Amino acid sequence: MKKLNKSVIALLIVMTILSFANFLNIKVNEEALKLAGISVIVGIIAYFTTRKTNEVITSGLDIKKCCSSFKDVKVILLSITPALLQILCFITAKRFLPEYIEHLGNRTNFIDSSEIIKTILMLAIAALGEEIAWRAFFQKQTTKIIKFIPSLIITSVLFSLGHFNFNNPLIVIYDFIFIFIDSIFYGLVFKKTDNAWCSWISHFIANVVGIFMI
């Protein structure tokens, strides 16, 4: 295990705290502010300002190696699993928990079916930001001080909490479980490739499948 410098530790703590920000339920014009999203901004800034702590400057975000990583069948299988889980999530919810669809619509209120290209572009940007913040920075840095499995679980719990939206507890738990499992797979893709571009592809595909399911 390695020793992290104080600035990295401080940034990890800030991201952790911000992940709970949606629980404050601060509203403007009856619209809840998604304050937990600030954790992603902090994580992106943290990644680019602390890259010198990595063994290689491009470690965690190397677009040149992205295509070659997908020559590995395991990476492909890990990457497409979240998209398949999205389908399972919606089919199950439609049958047993239809209120979940409305909940998801409220959580992703930036989706505009009349401007699908714009929506997909926003999803791509948001997913890339989350992968840089939570995988390339948070997961990568925490695995320097704790073992991979605890790091993966902690990262996924905080990532899931960052998507929290108030609703019926059963719906919130259902949403949390699927986000958490998806995050586990994004983390596994990142672990396998050490590349947030690869986990971003997995994340983006899952988001696009989710959009069409909605």
Q: What is the dihedral of CA 3, 8, 12, 13, to 10 degrees?
A: 90
Q: Is 10 part of a structural domain of the chain?
A: yes
Please tell me the total count of domains within the chain. Answer: 1
Task: Find the domain containing 57 and state its range.
Answer: 6-213
**% pLDDT > 90, the chain:** 72
Q: Is 185 part of a structural domain of the chain?
A: yes
CA 168, CA 186: separation in Å to the nearest integer?
27
Q: Is 1 part of a structural domain of the chain?
A: no
What are the phi and psi torsion angles at 19 (to 5°)? -60, -25
| Per-residue pLDDT in tens (0 to 9) along the chain, 214 residues | 677 889 999 999 999 999 999 999 887 777 777 899 999 999 999 999 998 877 777 789 999 999 999 999 999 999 999 999 999 999 999 999 999 988 787 766 655 656 788 888 999 999 999 999 999 999 999 999 999 999 999 999 999 999 998 889 999 999 999 999 999 999 999 999 999 999 999 999 999 998 888 7
pLDDT in tens, 107-130: 666 556 567 888 889 999 999 999
What are the phi and psi torsion angles at 100 (to 5°)? -65, -35
